[in-house]
Amino acid sequence: MNSLGIEQIKQGKVTIDVSDIPSGLAITIVGDIDMQDPSVVLDPLFDKVHKGAMASGLKVVNFDLKQLAFLNSSGIKGIAKWIMNLASAPADKRYVIKILQNKSIPWQVTSLPTLTFLVPGAVQIE
């Protein structure tokens, strides 16, 4: 369990774990997100993470996608929506989303860099 009380999610071909790390929080997604509407899984998760990170003053959320083989466009839209929440967050409550990518997975190389432009300074890709 993590400090925000978010439980592991297993849905279809994907497993999502949220854990505490020294610098903040880590979200690890493993598998494939190919469901028709991933927002039913992703939106509540990102909402809890966003509200919890702001309330507890976390500064970093590691978003580990290194083992996420597939994410459809609806899933990317869900991530973008989460990032956009940072645009309206007060400066003292903002946190950085560090996306950990796997450069051998084509969709990650082409899609993830565009997320860094949504809210300047809010997203880093490693």
Please report whether residue 52 resides in a domain: yes
Residue 37 lies in a domain: yes
Question: Which residues lie closer than 8 Å to 5 by C-beta, 6 or more apart?
Answer: none
Q: What is the CATH number of the domain that holds 56?
A: 3.30.750.24
Task: Tell me the pTM.
Answer: 0.96
Q: What is the pLDDT of residue 112?
A: 97
In a domain, 1, yes or no: no
Q: What percent of the chain has pLDDT over 90?
A: 98
* Nearest in space to 61 (alpha carbons), one of 92, 95, 87, 91: 95
Chain segment 25-57, per-residue pLDDT in tens? 999 999 999 999 999 999 999 999 999 999 999
CA dist 91 → 25, 83, 84, 98 (Å): 19, 14, 14, 17
Domain around 116: 9-125
| Residues 59, 4: Cα–Cα separation, whole Å | 14
The pLDDT tens digits of the residues spanning 81-117 come to 999 999 999 999 999 999 999 999 999 999 999 999 9
Coil, strand or helix: which one is 31?
strand
